[in-house]
Amino acid sequence: MILSSYKRIHRRYLMKKATIKDVSDLSGYSISTVSRVLNGNYPVKKQTKETILEAINKLHFTRNSVARNLRTNKTNIIGLVVADINNPYYSKIAKALDDGLFKRNYSLLVCNTDESEQKECKILETLIDKGVDFIIISPVSKNAELLRTIKNNGINVIIIDRNIGVSDFPFVGSDDFKEAKKLTEYLITRGHSKIAFITGTQKATTSQERLFGFRAALVENHLTFSNESLIEGLYKEEMAYENITKFLKRNQHNIQPYTAIFSSNNLMTLGLIKAAKELSISIPNDLSIVSFGQIELQDIIQPNVTCIKQNIDSMVELIFKNIDQLADDPTATISNDFIANSFLLGNSVKKIK
Amino acid sequence: MILSSYKRIHRRYLMKKATIKDVSDLSGYSISTVSRVLNGNYPVKKQTKETILEAINKLHFTRNSVARNLRTNKTNIIGLVVADINNPYYSKIAKALDDGLFKRNYSLLVCNTDESEQKECKILETLIDKGVDFIIISPVSKNAELLRTIKNNGINVIIIDRNIGVSDFPFVGSDDFKEAKKLTEYLITRGHSKIAFITGTQKATTSQERLFGFRAALVENHLTFSNESLIEGLYKEEMAYENITKFLKRNQHNIQPYTAIFSSNNLMTLGLIKAAKELSISIPNDLSIVSFGQIELQDIIQPNVTCIKQNIDSMVELIFKNIDQLADDPTATISNDFIANSFLLGNSVKKIK
DNA sequence: GTGAAAGCGCTAACAT
DNA sequence: ATGTTAGCGCTTTCAC
């Protein structure tokens, strides 16, 4: 009992933090003058300013942002909602974003959906609660309604990566259809006609668009598209690894085996490479592969995977274009920005026939 | 003019968010009762509760955390301060942390120091301002004073990865000296006696400890340690790459060339592999390497690097032990926890002599 | 079980 | 140029 009481007192002692009132008392000026010095938005006599700054230093005072946020209805926090911050694709975006945000005096709250719609929903609610100024989201689901609620709460929303196909929100991402088609056409020009496709999560538009692009390339080249060529990967390495292993085992007994596989994201490409390696299937000799999204250490890994490399720098640049615009005027015109990606030629595709 | 006025009105309309007062008005109960329903910490009549919940739903009300935080002096935000979230080592930590924090209803603010002391300082100030409940930091510098100020502001500090050698803060990380020594001894038992060492940033204690461990192993085995065997890498891939390239070029003309290199973090190991590859130096045939810290895709990359793999799961587990303890009682006893790492045997070291 | 009211630390009118 | 004061939306005593 005594101990617990002691702790409580000690705790309170620790919690003691100087407030603007303390600065006001010590310096002899009113809190508004202190506030003006803090914000530098109104003229203050040089002498006064110095006295106040002295008091601030003496008390180790730093402003309580929470109180400030309550007044100004701004938090200078931006929520980034992605599938998994451990995916290098997203961690690169996070890093590049943070660099620019630091300069703009914003902080980044990172949230992982793990591709779960339910988790995404809870995250968004938390972000509304927290009063973040912006939400930058690569959405799991096409829940435009929830995003509209957010917008009505005065939070700016920027959709990245996965377009949800509505016009209320700015979007920055790839032209998945076009790029996937291009990548497939490359396989076809190299003589491949039986091509399998590793799919992402059903919900994600990127996944659908990439599949459509793939199919379009086949159809245009008078090749048949069949659902049997689809391998479910859910955008996850582990899932892809398992299903690809099964697929490749089956494929070895096919009369007309698949000669190439299109992986629709970076993580699943890793699962693909591992599966092939374990089954002693040589890339590109026994199997050709392409990837939508670059894998890490591209230049060290064998095979060097031919892929679409998403241009993260220009992506982040466009995100900032939107941020700066919306910070200035939340009603600014909404635009869909497609980034220019690169086609990276590796050695993972064999020319056949 | 007219447009701009329209925009301002429109903006205000957008900003409108239901408050507890609105719920109170609609339901007919006082704001205190609404608050009690919200928090569920006081008894409320079932009937009352239902009426209020109905109003909450009708208004799409969610509580304003900022106001709540101001009252309760808690934010449910935890700041994670690391060198670079794009380093897989840190992004793994961030992900694992976020998983556990989500369950505890905390959010994670991620900050990158870029190994800059100055940036670290600014970040910490911002985090104090923002009133985060915890700061989990892998410090650039040994600035115990600043961390003490933070603690005095009522913010719990947990140091990870890089110990600053004071006893005021809980620490979770590796026993760098011991592990580095072990790794070096492995090289020695495989017959290597001329071993170079790629250093991290001077300021980081991990860097120093790893170097001490390296040197201790040499000395104990009656091998000479020389400053000439040090390659400066600053824990950065690019920096390591450049200096290693120079080093290896020089080394080719040595009468007694170095036969092995110890890289003291994962990023620099990548720089090392790239440098060797470009100079057509084969690992392990021409050069043996070991790494403190696992590189990604270990099982795909050639060479498979013999390394100390830091056990992130147990690291995060220990961090949570501290979080839970400190959340319960900020004056809880402080402990230094060393995680048990794994020695991963690869094929990057040749047996010589 | 419920309501009234104080106040968390700050900003921004509005005074002077 | 500086001071006074009214809240921002919420929690929490203190009444009843």
CATH number at residue B52: 1.10.260.40
Higher pLDDT, A150 or B290: B290
Residues B257 and B181 in one domain: yes
pLDDT at residue A72, as a whole number = 92
Residues B98 and B36 in one domain: no
Residue B3 domain flag = no
- Token output for A317: 């640049």
- Given a cut of 60, whether residue A15 has pLDDT beyond it is no
Question: What's the average model confidence in pLDDT over A28-39?
Answer: 92
Residues B135 and B182 in one domain: no
**Confidence grade of residue B232 (pLDDT, cut at 50, 70, 90):** very high
Residues A27 and A128 in one domain: no
Residues A199 and A275 in one domain: yes
Domain end: B10, B43, B70, which one? B70
Question: What's the average model confidence in pLDDT over B32-51?
Answer: 90
A327 CA – C5 C1', rounded, Å: 37
- Given a cut of 90, whether residue B2 has pLDDT beyond it is no
Residues A48 and A150 in one domain: no
Question: What's the average model confidence in pLDDT over B224-229?
Answer: 94
Which residues constitute the domain of residue A123? 77-169
Name the helix (H) or strand (E) containing B125: helix B117-130
Residues B189 and B306 in one domain: yes
> Tens digit of pLDDT for each residue in A153-183?
889 999 999 998 888 899 999 999 999 999 9
Tell me which chain A residues have a C-beta less than 8 angstroms from the C-beta of B129: 62-65
Residues B198 and B303 in one domain: yes
Tell me which chain A residues have a C-beta less than 8 angstroms from the C-beta of B130: 65-66, 77, 107
Show the CA angle centred on residue B266, arms to residues B260 and B267, nearest 5°: 105
- Residue % of chain B over a pLDDT of 90: 80
Identify the residue among B91, B156, B237 best suited for mutation to test binding to A, counting A beta carbons within 10 A and taking the highest.
Answer: B91
- Given a cut of 60, whether residue B3 has pLDDT beyond it is no
**Confidence grade of residue B13 (pLDDT, cut at 50, 70, 90):** very low
> Tens digit of pLDDT for each residue in B200-209?
998 888 999 9
- Token output for B22: 């609105």
- Among A14, A110, A112, beta carbon nearest to B152: A14
How far is it, in rounded angstroms, from Cα A86 to Cα A66? Answer: 30
Mean pLDDT for chain A? 91
Query: Which of A201-210, B75-84, B192-201 shows the lowest mean pLDDT across its residues?
Result: A201-210
- Kindly give, in sequence order, each residue whose CB lies less than 8 Å from that of residue A118, ignoring residues fewer than 6 positions away: none
- Token output for A258: 């698949």
Residue A332 domain flag = no
Residue B340 domain flag = no
Residue B330 domain flag = no
- Given a cut of 90, whether residue A103 has pLDDT beyond it is yes
pLDDT at residue A166, as a whole number = 86
- Gap from A152 CA to chain B (nearest CA, Å): 5
Tell me which chain A residues have a C-beta less than 8 angstroms from the C-beta of B302: 302
Q: Domain with A205 in it: what CATH number?
A: 3.40.50.2300
pLDDT at residue B167, as a whole number = 85
In this prediction the pTM is 0.91
pLDDT at residue A14, as a whole number = 47
- Residue % of chain B over a pLDDT of 70: 95
Task: Tell me if A330 and B130 make a contact (CB, 8 A cut-off).
Answer: no
Residue A334 domain flag = no
Residues B296 and B182 in one domain: yes
Residue B247 domain flag = yes
Residue A327 CB neighbours (<10 A) = 15
Residue A4 domain flag = no
Residues B304 and B219 in one domain: yes
- Among A70, A102, A123, beta carbon nearest to B67: A70
Residue B150: exposure state from Cβ atoms within 10 A (0-12, 13-18, ≥19): buried
pLDDT at residue A341, as a whole number = 94
Residue A221 CB neighbours (<10 A) = 12
Residues A88 and A130 in one domain: yes
Tell me which chain A residues have a C-beta less than 8 angstroms from the C-beta of B111: 98, 102, 107-108
Contact A77, A132 (CB under 8 A): yes
- Token output for A53: 């700054």
Residues A215 and A284 in one domain: yes
pLDDT at residue B5, as a whole number = 32
- Gap from B8 CA to chain A (nearest CA, Å): 9
Residue A330 domain flag = no
How far is it, in rounded angstroms, from Cα B132 to Cα B80? Answer: 10
Domain end: A37, A70, A103, which one? A70
- Gap from B245 CA to chain A (nearest CA, Å): 16
pLDDT at residue A331, as a whole number = 82
The count of domains in chain B is 3
